[in-house]
Amino acid sequence: MSDLAAATVASRPRQIIAAARVLLESEGPEALTMRRLADRVGVKASSLYKHFPDKSSVVAALATETLRETAGVLATAEAAAPGSFSALATAYRAYALAHPHLYLLTMGRALPATAAADAAAAPLFRAAGGDIDRARAAWAFAHGMVVLELDGRFPPGADLSAAWEAGIAAFTARPAG
């Protein structure tokens, strides 16, 4: 096999994941089928299975990519405002709203214990002063607000910015004791 052919084979999984992401983000989760994905990549569906045994493995790869991106977004927010839950929550929300299908696909499933998941959680853990329970509660607030917002579960005209600010203020205040 030539170097070019080997490089093409090696890059095929990245091409598949990139195509899966485009399908998901542009058309939603219903569009993410192995047949549609094969058409997008320009191969037969059976060729996809050489790289990914099933759709769930494609979804897992997309989730890992999302967690890596989330980690990067949160690390950037943390670097700009160390220890600021407000900066982290704002960055988290912005990323989720910019990539709603990708966010819901990733965060709507059990997350495996991976370096990407740990990296995404680390800034919030540090902002919570190393208190794992406080970090989990803060994440539950941010995640819940994002999901409710993406699902259109707030009444028309609801001031979501005020709700976010109230939640951020609750987690910014230092606990008694």
* Measured distance CA(32)–CA(20) in Å, rounded: 7
Domains and CATH numbers, the chain: 1-53 (1.10.10), 54-177 (1.10.357.10)
- Beta-carbon contacts of 17 under 8 Å, excluding residues fewer than 6 positions away, are 58, 61, 62, 65
Q: Are 172 and 89 in contact (CB under 8 A)?
A: no
Q: 107 is written with which tokens?
A: 């965060």
* Measured distance CA(61)–CA(143) in Å, rounded: 21
Q: 38 is written with which tokens?
A: 């094969």
* Measured distance CA(159)–CA(155) in Å, rounded: 9
pTM of the prediction? 0.88
pLDDT by position in tens, the chain (length 177): 544 444 455 688 999 999 999 999 999 999 999 999 999 999 998 889 999 999 999 999 999 999 999 999 999 999 999 999 999 999 999 999 999 999 999 998 888 788 999 999 999 999 999 999 999 999 999 999 999 999 999 999 999 999 999 999 998 876 555
Half-sphere exposure of residue 122, counting CA atoms within 13 Å on the CB side? 17
